[in-house]
């Protein structure tokens, strides 16, 4: 199989009713070692031959097993490792293939006279007799794609591309570069879908995640800071629009949802436990002192409540107890760390729930299209910023 998000993969996935069915089947079908082999080789730089010749179902399952593991920590070293290793595996297969029909790209073949002869002569260097045939093959415009689709995949410059009548014409190298971008986007999309159902995934994926994490930490040990999305001070710039709206204060009908449900869960997880290590995590599993809640998180929640019209806590002073309840300390005003676990620490609601319960909070921006939960919006922006900072640092060395 050339592309785990392509047409052949889709046919295989159609045999399962839902993505949950596929992920439920994998543990009884696939030795976890095979999934780990997909990433373990990166240290050596050489892809083991058997990974390039796996049968389609094993290939798909071993790849999806890794995606299931990533659901427990969507943006971090683990995702970076899975992306890097699998991009190379599939790219190697694609480069040696003559047929791109299977890729998750809407490619069409141009008809013979569609490109004016003069343009072909220049672009494909047909008069350059000295060029070896393989090189000419690489620059031949064999494919085309609607411009609109192309623009959704390629955010960079259009300078290098031949565009005519609403289509972009592409040679093999350009198709492969475009496929890499679509692979990264599809991987991110799939991990976000699985993040939403991670509570339902079998224990197998928790174990796989922990082993994957060891490999990723070893591989990226020099650059671990670059991809880290561990607990750290809040970065307000990276908050999603719904959280920014809640922070600014909202009218009476929205107050309890915006402040007590959304803001309390979002700020607490984002600040102290962005990637919960297990299900039913409690605050005391992540911190050993309540000061971070009392001095950093609670003041933000109270200020946002005070910005509401009318101010939330003036109207409903007991709502502070409800905040502690949503943080997992039970309905109280003076909790101790030991009280954490007396109620459930509410996880941020996903976007679908926010849109259903408080539609006016959801004013999506362009980054919202990648995610399904406000917390992953934040983690993704944190990850992208660290990644680009890391790249700048590497360039300046």
**What are the binding residues for [4Fe-4S] cluster?**
242, 351, 362, 368
Characterize the bridge pairing of strands 143-146 and 162-164.
unpaired
List the Cα angle 213/350/10 in 5-degree steps. 65
Nearer to ligand SF4, 58 or 372 (CB): 372
Instruction: Indicate the SS3 state at residue 170.
Output: strand
Q: Classify burial at 364, counting beta carbons within 10 Å of its beta carbon; exposed 0-12, middle 13-18, buried 19 or more.
A: middle
Entry field: residues in the chain: 397
The sheet with strand 162-164 has its strands ordered as 143-146, 167-170, 162-164
Nearer to ligand SF4, 241 or 341 (CB): 241
**Are the C-beta atoms of residues 143 and 110 closer than 8 Å to each other?**
yes
Nearer to ligand SF4, 27 or 240 (CB): 240
Q: Which residues bind ligand SF4 (CB under 6 A)?
A: 240-242, 351, 354, 362-364, 368, 374, 377
Distances (CA, A) of 112 to 34, 64, 142, 173, 225: 45, 40, 10, 20, 52
In the chain, the N- to C-terminal Cα span, in Å, equals 39
Output the smallest distance, CB 377 to ligand SF4, in A. 5
Distances (CA, A) of 339 to 15, 177, 325, 348, 378: 47, 53, 10, 21, 28
Nearer to ligand SF4, 183 or 378 (CB): 378
Nearer to ligand SF4, 255 or 381 (CB): 381
Nearer to ligand SF4, 329 or 377 (CB): 377
Nearer to ligand SF4, 216 or 361 (CB): 361
**Are the C-beta atoms of residues 9 and 187 closer than 8 Å to each other?**
no
Output the smallest distance, CB 241 to ligand SF4, in A. 4
State the SS3 of 120-153: HHHHCCCCCCCCCHHHHHHHCCCEEEEHHHHHHH
Nearer to ligand SF4, 240 or 335 (CB): 240
**Are the C-beta atoms of residues 275 and 76 closer than 8 Å to each other?**
yes
Q: What is the per-residue burial (b if ≥16 Cβ within 10 Å, else e) of 32-60?
A: bebbbbbbbebeeeebeeebeebeeebbb
**Are the C-beta atoms of residues 96 and 181 closer than 8 Å to each other?**
no
Query: What residue has token string 């309390």?
Result: 264
CA–CA separation, 368 and 363 (whole Å): 9
Output the smallest distance, CB 364 to ligand SF4, in A. 4
Output the smallest distance, CB 361 to ligand SF4, in A. 7
Output the smallest distance, CB 359 to ligand SF4, in A. 9
Output the smallest distance, CB 362 to ligand SF4, in A. 3
Output the smallest distance, CB 103 to ligand SF4, in A. 29
**Are the C-beta atoms of residues 351 and 374 closer than 8 Å to each other?**
yes
Output the smallest distance, CB 271 to ligand SF4, in A. 17
Query: What residue has token string 């670059």?
Result: 226
Output the smallest distance, CB 381 to ligand SF4, in A. 11
Nearer to ligand SF4, 138 or 196 (CB): 196
């Amino acid at each position: 199989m050339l592309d785990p998000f392509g047409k052949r993969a889709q046919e295989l996935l159609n045999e399962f009713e839902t993505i949950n069915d596929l992920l439920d089947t994998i543990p009884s079908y696939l030795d976890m070692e095979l999934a780990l082999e997909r990433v373990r080789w990166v240290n050596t730089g050489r892809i083991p031959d058997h990974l390039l010749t796996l049968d389609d179902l094993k290939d798909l399952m071993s790849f999806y097993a890794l995606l299931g593991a990533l659901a427990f920590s969507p943006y971090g070293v683990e995702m970076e490792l899975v992306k890097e290793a699998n991009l190379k595996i599939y790219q190697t297969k694609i480069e040696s293939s003559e047929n791109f029909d299977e890729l998750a790209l809407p490619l069409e073949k141009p008809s013979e006279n569609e490109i004016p002869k003069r343009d072909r002569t220049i672009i494909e260097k047909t008069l350059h007799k000295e060029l070896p045939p393989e090189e000419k093959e690489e620059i031949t415009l064999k494919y085309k794609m609607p411009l609109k689709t192309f623009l959704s995949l390629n955010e960079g410059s259009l300078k290098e591309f031949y565009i005519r009548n609403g289509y972009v014409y592409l040679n093999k190298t350009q198709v492969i570069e475009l496929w890499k971008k679509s692979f990264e986007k599809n991987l991110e999309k799939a991990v976000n879908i699985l993040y939403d159902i991670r509570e339902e995934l079998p224990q197998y994926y928790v174990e796989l995640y922990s082993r994957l994490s060891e490999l990723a930490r070893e591989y990226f040990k020099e650059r671990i800071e670059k991809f880290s999305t561990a607990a750290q001070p809040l970065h307000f710039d990276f908050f999603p629009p719904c959280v920014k709206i809640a922070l600014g204060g909202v009218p009476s009908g929205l107050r309890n949802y915006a402040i007590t449900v959304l803001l309390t869960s979002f700020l607490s997880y984002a600040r102290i436990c962005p990637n919960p290590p297990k299900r039913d995590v409690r605050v005391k599993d992540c911190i050993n002192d309540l000061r971070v809640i009392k001095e950093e998180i609670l003041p933000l929640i109270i200020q946002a409540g005070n910005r509401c019209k009318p101010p939330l806590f003036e109207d409903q002073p007991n709502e502070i107890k409800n905040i502690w309840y949503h943080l997992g300390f039970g309905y109280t005003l003076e909790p101790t760390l030991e009280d954490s676990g007396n109620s459930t620490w509410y996880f941020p609601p996903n976007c679908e729930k926010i849109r259903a319960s408080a539609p006016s909070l959801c004013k999506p921006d362009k980054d919202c299209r990648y995610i399904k939960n406000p917390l992953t919006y934040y983690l993704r922006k944190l990850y992208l910023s660290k990644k680009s900072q890391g790249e700048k640092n590497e360039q300046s060395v």
